[in-house]
Amino acid sequence: MDLRSLRYFVAVAEERHFGRAAARLHMTQPPLSRAVKRLETDLGAVLLHRSPAGVSLTDAGTALYEEARTLLEAAERARARVTAAANLTLGTLGDGVDQTGTAVAARFRERHPGVRIILREADLSDPAAGLRAGLVDVALTRLPFDDRGIGTHVLRDDPVGALLRADDPLAGRESLAVRELADRAWFRLPEGTDPRWRAYWNAVPPGSPLREGPVIRTVHECVQAVLWNGTVGLVPLAHPVPDGLTTVPLSDVPPSRVVLAWRRAWTPPLVRSFVELARGG
């Protein structure tokens, strides 16, 4: 008796029909019938009453069905735990924050040479980079966003500035205040995006009305909006900009904090190890 035979039997028991069970298992009916017959022979018990209309469970079949479901569920949990122990999914924002992860990645590979890192890049409408949705195990991202239930460790602070066209009258300034750009169009993030995150990148206090301007989801869209339409974008000063654009530091906007983030309620060993290494452990 093996897990495959039990899986075949459970499918027949639930479908009450060999043909439907075979279709569910993506196989033909004859090998399915033979597998169930071998299972009956191995156990020394008739598990199914067969008829032209289908099948029904015998008392022995009912007992096996309950045990088989428990065994298959336990096997699936074991498979999931093994998979989780062999892989770690890392979420990043599509704006270069993952550059900070280079040193952490090297130390992690040294400590866990057999673990595969799966990368998932999120756009700017998801500051948790897939973490809150359960799509990633840890994330390299930026604050501020709603971090309830999420642990964070600050990796660095990035000063920010206004992204302007190189021919903008304010482009040559050493620094600017947000009020000097109050009459400009600023890019906005989509409706439904974390409010604190939207407010920060629109350079307004949390809860305040957003400035008018085009809706963007990626750094590339932000750059193009500035380049073609003269929109103001807020970007980390270290972020490279293409020809025709420049950045001017903003004196009254706090730095963008690059953080490692993880779900507090779910910290398997690999996540704990990654966080420890990011903290310098």
Structural domain boundaries, residue 165: 160-254
**Residues 81, 107: one domain?**
no
pLDDT of residue 61: 86
**102 within a domain of the structure (yes/no):** yes
Q: How many domains does the chain have?
A: 3
Q: What are the helix (H) ranges across 101-194?
A: 101-111
CA 196 to each of CA 140, 193, 206, 221, 234: distance values in angstroms, whole numbers, following the listed order:
18, 9, 6, 21, 15
Mean per-residue pLDDT, 163-188:
93
Conformational region of residue 160, where left means phi above 0, alpha means psi within -120 to 50, and beta covers everything else: beta
pLDDT of residue 143: 94
Pairing of strands 138-143, 245-249: unpaired
Mean per-residue pLDDT, 182-189:
91
**Closest to 171 (Cα-Cα) out of 209, 222, 227, 117:** 227
Q: What are the helix (H) ranges across 149-267?
A: 195-201, 219-229
**Residues 183, 206: one domain?**
yes
| Strand blocks (E) in 20-115 | 48-51, 54-57, 87-93
Residue 219: band (very low, low, confident or very high) from pLDDT cuts 50, 70, 90 = confident
Q: What is the pLDDT of residues 3-56, one digit of tens each?
A: 888 889 899 999 999 989 888 888 888 998 999 999 989 889 998 998 888 889
pLDDT of residue 281: 61
Residues in the chain: 281
d(CA 201, CA 253): 10
pLDDT of residue 186: 92
**150 within a domain of the structure (yes/no):** no
**154 within a domain of the structure (yes/no):** no
Asked if 173 and 159 count as a contact pair (C-beta separation under 8 A), the reply is: no
**155 within a domain of the structure (yes/no):** no
92: CATH = 3.40.190.10
**Among 85, 120, 136, residue at a domain's last position:** 85
d(CA 58, CA 7): 17
What 8-state DSSP symbol labels residue 210?
A: P
pTM for this prediction: 0.68
Average pLDDT value over all residues in the chain: 88
pLDDT of residue 34: 92
pLDDT of residue 99: 62
pLDDT of residue 26: 84
**Among 65, 85, 105, residue at a domain's last position:** 85
Hey, what's the torsion of the CAs at 158, 162, 164, 166, to 10 degrees? -60
pLDDT of residue 95: 67
**Residues 239, 268: one domain?**
no
**Residues 249, 171: one domain?**
yes
- For residue 182, is pLDDT > 70? yes
**Residues 100, 166: one domain?**
no
**55 within a domain of the structure (yes/no):** yes
pLDDT of residue 79: 67
Q: What is the pLDDT of residues 52-82, one digit of tens each?
A: 888 899 999 899 999 988 898 888 777 666 6
**Residues 171, 246: one domain?**
yes
Asked if 258 and 155 count as a contact pair (C-beta separation under 8 A), the reply is: yes
**Residues 23, 95: one domain?**
no
pLDDT of residue 130: 92
**153 within a domain of the structure (yes/no):** no
pLDDT of residue 4: 86
More confident residue, 246 or 267: 246
Q: What is the pLDDT of residues 94-137, one digit of tens each?
A: 766 556 667 788 888 888 888 888 889 999 999 999 998 889 99
Asked if 63 and 13 count as a contact pair (C-beta separation under 8 A), the reply is: no
pLDDT of residue 3: 85
**Residues 58, 131: one domain?**
no
